[in-house]
Structure 1
């Protein structure tokens, strides 16, 4: 059983997948920083200073004295996550397109 696990773990596909996950995590952090630190301030400036992450509809107000937390529908954070996803998807598309172009040249 140990031998079978070793063969499975050291196959090229598993190692490629592990490397892809690690690089994907790092790439995700870079794109998240691009969205949060570069693009969202520009979008906020174009929309008159709106900070999307602050947009919400309060369903139930909180009370600090009673330590009751606010219940809110945070649609601004959702909008920001959609923008983040679209930028990540576009970056991955461009990388795959570039890699496909390089692969075609090698053939």
Structure 2
């Protein structure tokens, strides 16, 4: 029973929940970037390069024989995955850079001293009365 309790405490810690949320958001972000690359970026690049569809770029190493499929090196998909990676890496770099600059600004800003509590005010008044 203790093992189950320990696992429950571990699973409900903030770090584990934050990690799960990050993985889910990261997966969704990956789909968005893939769509951006496949549907927005690569088609104009293909037109610029003479109407090339990158998904069709491949080299046939061995032709199909009977029931055996052809052996194909699909380097067009590789190019698209590299573009996906570069975009994702750049966005993550910019997000981390923004977070680091925000943390630096927070650390550099002097914290205002807390207002005195009622007890401290009373003690100050007593001190001032004793000085007189």
- 2:91 & 2:44 partners in 1: Cα distance? 19
> 1:97 matched to which residue of 2?
97
Shift of residue 29 of structure 1? 0.7
Shift of residue 96 of structure 1? 1.6
Q: TM-score, normalised by structure 1?
A: 0.88
Name which structure has the greater RCO, CA cutoff 8 Å, separation 6+: 1
Matched, 1:76 2:76: yes
> 2:8 matched to which residue of 1?
6
Report the number of matched residues.
105
Q: TM-score, normalised by structure 2?
A: 0.72
Shift of residue 48 of structure 1? 1.2
Matched, 1:41 2:40: no
Could you list the per-position Cα deviations for residues 53-106 of structure 1 after superposition, in whole angstroms to 9, with x for gaps in the alignment?
A: 21111111125xx33311111111111111111011111111222222333333
Q: Aligned Cα RMSD in Å?
A: 1.5
- 1:106 & 1:37 partners in 2: Cα distance? 40
Specify every segment of 5 or more residues in structure 1 that has no aligned partner in the other structure, as ranges. Answer: none
